[in-house]
């Protein structure tokens, strides 16, 4: 690790030769490009130094990660492009309503801490599907669980590849589609080399890059425009008040963007009122999103898998505490970019900017040094890379460990298992890149689809599987079918709408079972069906009940 840090420090002076004007869009940007290349080289080096030597390294990082290190990796893995870019994008577009995502994602980790982290580690498996197959004594459920885990990982990855594409496009001045393919190739390369061990080490470094690159512009912006810069997360509150009440152009001195534009803002109450009609959202949608993201967080395969990389169950709980601390630093800061972005882009010559890139645009419009803006963009790439690598490992583990090894070829050697895991990683990356080219929706919204899918399928199985020994195989199958059906209907209607197809009751389904929040209905339905069917069918085997009591809840 010392060698890695030393390398990063030696590369830092190179940035000084790369300063230059940075435009909102268009040309190749030398400074940001050098920063990005240096960071990517660093990631690949870490992947090589800590490459996976066996299946335990690939699946669970040798179960050797410390509490704080795991917390940093959790935070980095969690702070995806949806957090780094997407949250500010949502609040820039809809104001206070975007905080539903912050509440849901943060609350989900509290749910994990209380209900699952220690128990999952005590159960002692490698993957989510491994737990499902063992707890519900069914190879079929193991396969279905693995397929669901792969689908969730793919859905989540699509938004991340979109974020990578946006940042590569901005830095390199290339076409979005080409940017997605280049960025995807790089992250795939070092994931294939690393496995969970190298990915986890990279995540710790990526967290440092993410948080430093995210915070520096905030201090500069609040200082430059005379808000409380010592703690920007509090200082921007005065700016929110200015936006809500409206800003006549002469009112705030020196409040001009990097193009020299002054501006005037009409009153925007949606920045303080979560269900103001101006936001275009309702109370129901706010609550449904927050609830769906909360339970979805507790059912994400790549999040659950992070609890297997620590030595013991107490480390799993503490890693969540540390992860929450590290996550909150960024979550507390994201609204600053949306508020400054709304003000600095308000001049008619700037117009409404692409929401998913508002973090970078805000720094540019605030006339922040181009190198710092480039470092910010590289932080966005790091955020996406850290999540994508974790998702690819989770999906590949489900394919290799849960389908190939546990079902198809139990006699396969560790070398064959590792090879199949890498094949699975490549296959997933190809699918994700192809889907990312469609650019279906905002990054955070695409990610929310994965959360709702996890909330309808994996979350009920883990919740009941851990805390109710009466949940049996038949109940699990029935609950999975119920939750999966709701997810299938919602996603099918969403895709139909994207291609301008109108199906029966389209408006009703799109509102009440929206693609970002259908778990508000699907998860409770899956839990109820699981309980009812379990009560009516053959009880859980005694050996499993005994294991739960003695090993998981001891």
Among 309, 303, 401, which Cα is nearest to 121's?
309
This prediction's pTM: 0.81
Length of the chain: 554
Low-confidence ranges of the chain (pLDDT < 70): 1-26, 51-67, 125-126, 190, 194-198, 249-255, 259, 262-264, 274, 278-279, 305-313, 348, 351-352
What is the Cα–Cα distance from 539 to 549, expressed in whole angstroms? 16
Per-residue pLDDT reduced to its tens digit, 299-354: 887 777 666 666 666 777 777 788 788 888 888 888 889 888 888 887 767 766 77
What is the Cα–Cα distance from 272 to 447, expressed in whole angstroms? 25
Q: What is the pLDDT of residue 540?
A: 94
Neighbours of 50 (CB within 10 A): 23
Options 3.40.50.300, 1.20.1730.10, 1.10.3720.10, 3.30.1490.20; CATH for 2-220+267-443 is: 1.20.1730.10
Domain parsing of the chain, residue ranges: 2-220+267-443
What is the Cα–Cα distance from 178 to 165, expressed in whole angstroms? 8
Per-residue pLDDT reduced to its tens digit, 501-541: 889 999 999 999 999 899 999 999 999 999 999 999 999 99
Long-range contacts of 221-230 (CB under 8 A, 24+ apart): 221/336, 221/340, 221/362, 221/363, 221/366, 221/368, 222/336, 224/366, 224/367, 225/252, 225/254, 225/255, 225/340, 225/366, 226/254
Is residue 243 within 8 A of residue 268, CB to CB? The reply is yes
Is residue 171 within 8 A of residue 36, CB to CB? The reply is yes
């Amino acid at each position: 690790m010392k060698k890695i840090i030393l390398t990063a420090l030696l590369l830092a002076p190179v940035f000084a030769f790369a300063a230059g004007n940075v435009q909102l869009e268009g040309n190749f940007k030398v400074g940001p490009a050098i920063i990005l290349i240096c960071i990517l080289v660093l990631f690949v080096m870490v992947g090589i130094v800590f490459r996976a030597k066996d299946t335990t390294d690939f699946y669970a990082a040798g179960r050797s990660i410390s509490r704080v290190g795991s917390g940093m990796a959790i935070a980095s893995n969690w702070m995806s492009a949806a957090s780094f870019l997407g949250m500010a994008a949502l609040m820039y577009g809809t104001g206070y309503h975007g905080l539903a995502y912050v509440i849901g994602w943060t609350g989900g980790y509290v749910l994990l801490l209380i209900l699952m982290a220690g128990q999952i580690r005590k159960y002692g498996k490698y993957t989510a599907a491994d737990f499902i197959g063992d707890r519900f004594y069914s190879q079929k459920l193991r396969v279905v669980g693995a397929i669901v885990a792969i689908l969730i990982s793919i859905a989540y990855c699509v938004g991340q590849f979109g974020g990578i594409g946006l940042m590569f496009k901005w830095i390199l001045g290339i076409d979005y589609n080409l940017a997605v393919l280049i960025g995807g190739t790089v992250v795939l390369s070092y994931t294939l080399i690393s496995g969970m061990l190298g990915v986890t080490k990279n995540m710790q470094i990526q967290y440092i890059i993410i948080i430093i690159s995210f915070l520096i512009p905030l201090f500069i912006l609040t200082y430059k425009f005379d808000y409380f810069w010592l703690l920007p997360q509090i200082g921007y509150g005065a700016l929110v008040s200015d936006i809500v009440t409206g800003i006549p152009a002469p009112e705030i001195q020196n409040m001009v963007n990097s193009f020299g534009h002054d501006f005037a803002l009409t009153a925007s109450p949606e920045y303080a009122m979560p269900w103001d009609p101006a936001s275009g959202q309702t109370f129901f949608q706010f609550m449904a999103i927050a609830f769906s993201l909360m339970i979805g967080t507790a059912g994400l395969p790549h999040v659950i898998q992070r609890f297997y990389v620590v030595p013991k169950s107490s480390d799993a709980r503490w890693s969540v505490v540390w992860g929450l601390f590290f996550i909150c630093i960024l979550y507390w800061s994201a609204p600053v970019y949306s508020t400054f972005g709304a003000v600095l882009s308000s001049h008619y010559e700037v117009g409404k900017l692409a929401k998913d890139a508002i973090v970078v645009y805000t720094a540019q419009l605030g006339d922040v040094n181009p190198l710092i803006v480039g470092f910010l963009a590289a932080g966005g790439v790091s955020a996406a890379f850290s999540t994508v690598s974790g998702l690819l490992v989770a999906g590949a583990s489900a394919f290799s460990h849960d389908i190939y090894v546990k079902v198809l070829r139990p006699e396969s050697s560790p070398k064959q298992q590792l090879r199949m895991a890498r094949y699975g990683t490549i296959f997933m990356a190809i699918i994700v890149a192809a889907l990312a080219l469609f650019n279906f929706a905002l990054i955070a919204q695409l990610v929310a689809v994965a959360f709702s899918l996890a909330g309808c399928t994996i979350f009920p199985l883990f919740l009941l599987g851990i805390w109710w020994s009466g949940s049996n195989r038949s109940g699990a199958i029935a609950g999975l079918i119920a939750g999966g059906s709701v997810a299938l209907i919602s996603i099918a209607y969403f895709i139909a709408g994207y291609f301008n197809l109108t199906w029966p009751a389209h408006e009703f389904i799109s509102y009440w079972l929206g693609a970002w929040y259908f778990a508000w209905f699907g998860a409770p339905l899956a839990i109820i069906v699981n309980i009812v069917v379990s009560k009516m069918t053959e009880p859980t085997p005694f050996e499993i009940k005994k294991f739960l009591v003695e090993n998981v809840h001891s």
